[in-house]
Amino acid sequence: MTPAELSELIRETLLAAIADGEIGLAEADVPEHVKVERPRQREHGDWATNIAMQLAKKAGTNPRAFAQLLADRLTSADGIDAVEVAGPGFINIRLAAGAAGELARAIVEAGEQYGRSDTLAGQCINLEYISANPTGPLHIGHTRWAAVGDALVRVLRAAGAEVSPEYYINDAGSQMNTFGASVLARAKGEEIPEGGYPGEYIDELAAKALAERPDLVDLPESEGIALARDLGYKHQLQQIKDTLADFNVTFDVWFSENDNLHKTGAIDSAIDRLREQGHVYEHDGAVWLRTTDFGDDKDRVLVKADGSKTYFSADCAYYLSKRDRGFPEKIYLFGADHHGYVGRMKAVAACAGDDMDKNIEILIGQFINISGGRMGKRLGNVINLHDLIEWIGTDALRYTLARYPTDTTLDLKAEDLQQQNNDNPVYYVQYAHARTRNVARNAAEHGVRREDAFDASLLTDESEAELLGMLAEYPRVVTLSAENREAHRIARYLEQLAAAYHTWYGRCRVTPRGDEQVDDTHRTRLWLNDAVTQVLRNGLDILGVSAPDRM
């Protein structure tokens, strides 16, 4: 019996009691989904619900009496071994061994769909993250959002939401001309101009630009800068895309600020639309948005007195673009240096006529530092994502960065991420998956086949009950991760599941010993082993981490 099935059983039992006149409630008072969760102490049972405490007052009775009535009815239900009322009205439920063990077969048959739901069905979300300037490679500061952002996309989709991941290319403004001047200078063999972009990557971009246009160095200065900018931008953006592909990160949309906002007149249009909403005014020759009406600490300039538009005006146009493209819900993932953007962007949403508490969500990620011998060789330069992938590996990076809440500052050691032992969480979880596959291979060699038998009542060892309980938790963890935008819940769950599996592995055998004959216990345990395989694989996939068959 899965938690969802138990939830439905409790609901049906409630409705039956109402129909029989034993509980003074209407059918509409019963929630669509009755919440069940694992008790903190295993001896209290397999599952618990507080539904009696939720509904007792409306039913005109006390929670314990309500809970006892419900417990008496549940006790006789198929698959229920025992039901007890505890504390102020909790209902603790212990499943019959057969009912609990059925979950193993259900997981194997569900495959990659196990844990997926329609909880967030109907939600259409634009999730923007990374959005680094295309004037250089992605660096360590972008790496955390690359890992967490992609994991959030995956977990939201697993919970039924429609999600469009988007990368905002900040390819407009003076930094692009500075970038072009830097590329041109290196193409000519000159020093980088003051305030320009240093680094070996500029030399590489200059070489590529020259290979494509040998006449680059002979053009008039302004034409040369423009061409160097465009060529350097093209190659740098492609390098960013290639690096993210190596990191298992993909985007549905690469949104060019220059092409989609500046060249189309979208910024002027956005200002006009905000003016129509009554939130734009002029003062000291500048055009302002009255964001203080919605909690911002000061009003924001859209157009300066000299007629030039601010970066904020592009932010406004970009928000309206997302709205116009059919995304009621917009999630922004910002770096630690963007705390000041929270108030102003929420105010933009309100000025546009949206609900600032529902239509926009901003997550702030704190800084990370990865120390180690190779980092020391950087001589103070910023290490980029491509180097991190080569140095530490995609799996270790993605898992570790997704493993912690985004509001925590991380100080990691490369040596810890590279350890091939149980002290390294990603290794621990991947090793558990590889062990399940090795067990399956050994089972095949000994003639243990799932299709020959399944008897859930044979899964009676204490470690099997614990393992089945952990497996049952997975759908709830996925849902909570999606609802709370917390990918780290998946990683921590996988570690607990791996621990439960390793304990079970040490106590229960899938293959016979010596002259022992294969029996239904072996076959049924193979179902359980393979259920663990599936859940580990499903969880690692959400994190964008591989599930190796051998280690």
Residue spans per domain, the chain: 3-95, 421-542
Instruction: Supply the DSSP symbol for 455.
Output: -
Span 36-55, average pLDDT: 85
Measured in Å, how far apart are the chain's first and last C-alpha atoms?
A: 33
The amino acid at residue 258 is N
Span 77-88, average pLDDT: 89
CA dist., res. 484 & res. 148, Å (int) = 13
Residue pLDDT, tens place only, 146-186: 999 999 999 999 999 999 999 999 999 899 999 999 999 99
Model pLDDT, residue 365:
82
CA dist., res. 431 & res. 421, Å (int) = 9
What CATH topology corresponds to 421-542?
Isoleucyl-tRNA Synthetase; Domain 1 (1.10.730)
Has domain 3-95 been given CATH number 3.30.1360.70? yes
Relative orientation angle of helices 51-59 and 63-75, to the nearest 10 degrees: 120
Span 450-468, average pLDDT: 93
Model pLDDT, residue 366:
78
Diameter over CA atoms, the chain: 93
Model pLDDT, residue 381:
53
Is 483 a residue whose pLDDT tops 70?
A: yes
- The pLDDT confidence band at residue 375, using thresholds 50, 70 and 90, is very low
Model pLDDT, residue 216:
95
Nearest CA-CA partner of 257 in 338, 314, 219? 314
CA dist., res. 48 & res. 472, Å (int) = 13
Span 285-303, average pLDDT: 96
Tokens (6 digits) for 528: 């359980």
Q: Where would I find the H helices in 372-487?
A: 373-376, 385-392, 394-402, 414-417, 425-445, 462-484
Residue percentage of the chain with pLDDT more than 70: 98
Span 523-536, average pLDDT: 98
Report DSSP letters for 199-214, one per residue: SHHHHHHHHHHHHH-G
Span 66-85, average pLDDT: 90
Is 373 a residue whose pLDDT tops 60?
A: no
CA dist., res. 455 & res. 457, Å (int) = 5
Residue 135 and residue 176 in contact, taking contact as beta carbons nearer than 8 Å: yes
- The pLDDT confidence band at residue 256, using thresholds 50, 70 and 90, is very high
Instruction: Count CB neighbours of 407 within 10 A.
Output: 10
Model pLDDT, residue 233:
96
Angle at 139 (CA atoms; ends 136, 329), nearest 5 degrees: 95
Residue 38 and residue 45 in contact, taking contact as beta carbons nearer than 8 Å: no
Instruction: Count CB neighbours of 549 within 10 A.
Output: 13
CA dist., res. 67 & res. 93, Å (int) = 12
Model pLDDT, residue 372:
58
Angle at 173 (CA atoms; ends 168, 175), nearest 5 degrees: 95
- The pLDDT confidence band at residue 427, using thresholds 50, 70 and 90, is very high
The sign of the torsion formed by the CA atoms of 37, 41, 44, 45 equals positive
Span 206-225, average pLDDT: 96
- The pLDDT confidence band at residue 382, using thresholds 50, 70 and 90, is low
Give the residue, 81 or 474, on which the prediction is more confident: 474
Instruction: Report the residue count for the chain.
Output: 551
Determine the distance from the C-alpha atom of residue 32 to the mean position of all C-alpha atoms in its chain, rounded to a whole number.
26
Average pLDDT, the chain: 92
Model pLDDT, residue 500:
97
Residue pLDDT, tens place only, 431-455: 999 999 999 999 999 999 999 999 9
Span 517-531, average pLDDT: 97
Tokens (6 digits) for 478: 């996925």
- Taking the CA atoms of the chain, what radius of gyration do you get in angstroms? 29
CA dist., res. 103 & res. 93, Å (int) = 16
CA dist., res. 520 & res. 524, Å (int) = 6
Residue percentage of the chain with pLDDT more than 90: 76
Is 374 a residue whose pLDDT tops 70?
A: no
- Stretch among 109-123, 136-150, 263-277, 320-334 having the lowest mean pLDDT: 136-150
Greatest mean pLDDT among 13-27, 69-83, 232-246 lies in 232-246
Model pLDDT, residue 422:
83
Model pLDDT, residue 415:
77
Contacts of 309 (CB under 8 A, 6+ apart): 267, 302, 303
3-state helix vs strand vs coil in the chain, percent to 5: 55, 10, 30
How much is the pTM? 0.88
- Stretch among 19-23, 312-316, 524-528 having the lowest mean pLDDT: 19-23
Bridge-based pairing of strands 280-283 and 286-289 is: antiparallel
Residue 316 and residue 263 in contact, taking contact as beta carbons nearer than 8 Å: no
Determine the distance from the C-alpha atom of residue 317 to the mean position of all C-alpha atoms in its chain, rounded to a whole number.
27
Is 411 a residue whose pLDDT tops 90?
A: no
- Stretch among 85-99, 107-121, 165-179, 461-475 having the lowest mean pLDDT: 85-99
Work out the burial of residue 314: count CB atoms within 10 Å of its CB; fewer than 13 is exposed, 13-18 middle, 19 or more buried: buried
Give the residue, 114 or 32, on which the prediction is more confident: 114
